[in-house]
Amino acid sequence: MSHTNTPRSAFTVITPFYGVVAAGCDLLCHKLKIHCDRFSRTISRRHKTIIKEFFGYVWDRGDIYLSEQKGCYCLSCKEFKEQRHLLAGRRCPLHSNKDILRFHGVYSPAMLISAGLPVLSRDCGQGFLTQDGQKMRKSLGNTLDPLELVDWYSTKAILYSSSLELVQGRKTASC
């Protein structure tokens, strides 16, 4: 079977994978005795309806428009960079994905205001786990399986160590 390099074919290939990931999240929440009021799957009919309605409000207010932006785009930061913000060799100095705070602190509230929805009074950001001084990333292969950790230690031990290490505002927690 051949796959073309289109968004639809990529979606078809990865959708079953995310079903497995979602099932793993459900299992982890169960093992950690975490109650989740709502777990949103971006492929669910309900989610698609809400997003369509949300962007309809923003579009109707004129806050979405077609345009073209040129420049260097950093995949890790999810933003365009001006030349003056790049290091030699046109590299981004950040690459930490910690800049997701910009999305939650600037873009998300702006979209909520545009859609006429209430904005959160505060945004809580947590640090990220590190191992041997490096941020844990699937691409580096230095991640830990949380289900294995719960089986190896205990629910209470994992929750306790997480509450100590992943303090709001702290940049990293070592494993």
Q: 155-170 pLDDT, tens per residue?
A: 888 888 877 766 554 5
Residues 37-43, mean pLDDT to the nearest whole number: 80
What ranges do the domains of the chain cover? 124-175
Percent of the chain with pLDDT over 70: 78
Q: Which of 85, 82, 122 is nearest to 101 (CA)?
A: 122
Q: For residue 4, is pLDDT > 50?
A: no
Higher pLDDT, 53 or 100: 53
- Give the number of other CB atoms < 10 A from CB of residue 11: 11
Residue 171 confidence class, pLDDT cut points 50, 70, 90: low
Sign of the Cα torsion 21, 22, 25, 27 reads negative
Sign of the Cα torsion 19, 22, 28, 33 reads negative
Q: For residue 49, is pLDDT > 70?
A: yes
**pTM as predicted:** 0.57
3-state secondary structure of 51: helix
Residues 6+ apart with CB under 8 A from 134: 140, 142
Residue 3: predicted pLDDT: 41
